[in-house]
Amino acid sequence: MTQFRLTAIFAACLAGSFVFAQSVPELSGPSPDPMEPVPAAPLERFVTDDVRQMRAYPEQPPVIPHSITGYQLSVNANRCMSCHKREHTEGSGAPMISITHYMTREGQMLADVSPRRYFCTQCHVPQADTAPLIENTFTDMSEMGATGAGSE
């Protein structure tokens, strides 16, 4: 009897995993052979209207509102810092990298960008106006019932 029950549970799990596998075809390779090479779709055009976007939550790395095509970002050269470094912001009009970018992981303040914040595009990305691959149910925390101080 126990064995029968276990077999039934196993069968149910197996059936469940097939249903799941069928609901996300866009994120896997072609069927029946997902390893078969297919040509990649062309990259979408990035939004480069220079309008700084609202952050979805306070600690979000802001998205990049300008073109970064051809900007070198390597161990030897950091094109981003030529505008976003504190010393260059007056001439470039770019917002300075924030204070956290000068801090080591021990919280020590450096004169220049900290190694852990050197490769900007690790966290900051440009945006393209495309349909999301899967449904997104993100809700802004300000819409979750709590009203903040000074909001009335």
Angle made by CA atoms 93, 43, 28, in degrees to the nearest 5: 130
Size of the site for ligand HEC (CB under 6 A): 35
Task: Convert residues 45-64 into a mask of x (bound to ligand HEC by CB under 6 A) and - (unbound).
Answer: -----x-x------x-xx-x
Q: What is the DSSP string of 59-107?
A: TPPPPB-S--TT--BSSS-BTTHHHHSGGGHHHH-PPPPPGGGGB-TT-
Shortest distance, position 58 Cβ to ligand HEC, whole Å? 7
The DSSP secondary-structure symbol of 132 reads: -
Left (φ > 0), alpha (ψ -120 to 50) or beta: where does 135 sit?
beta
Q: Are 151 and 77 in contact (CB under 8 A)?
A: no
Residue 103 makes contact with ligand HEC by CB under 6 A:
no
Residue 65 makes contact with ligand HEC by CB under 6 A:
yes
Task: Convert residues 105-144 into a mask of x (bound to ligand HEC by CB under 6 A) and - (unbound).
Answer: --------x---xxxxxxxx--------------------
Q: Are 119 and 61 in contact (CB under 8 A)?
A: no
Residue 86 makes contact with ligand HEC by CB under 6 A:
no
Residue 30 makes contact with ligand HEC by CB under 6 A:
no
Candidate segments 8-16, 35-43, 78-86, 139-147, binder of ligand HEC by CB under 6 A = 78-86
Residues at the interface with ligand HEC (CB under 6 A): 50, 52, 59, 61-62, 64-66, 68, 71, 73, 78-84, 92-95, 97-98, 100-101, 113, 117-124
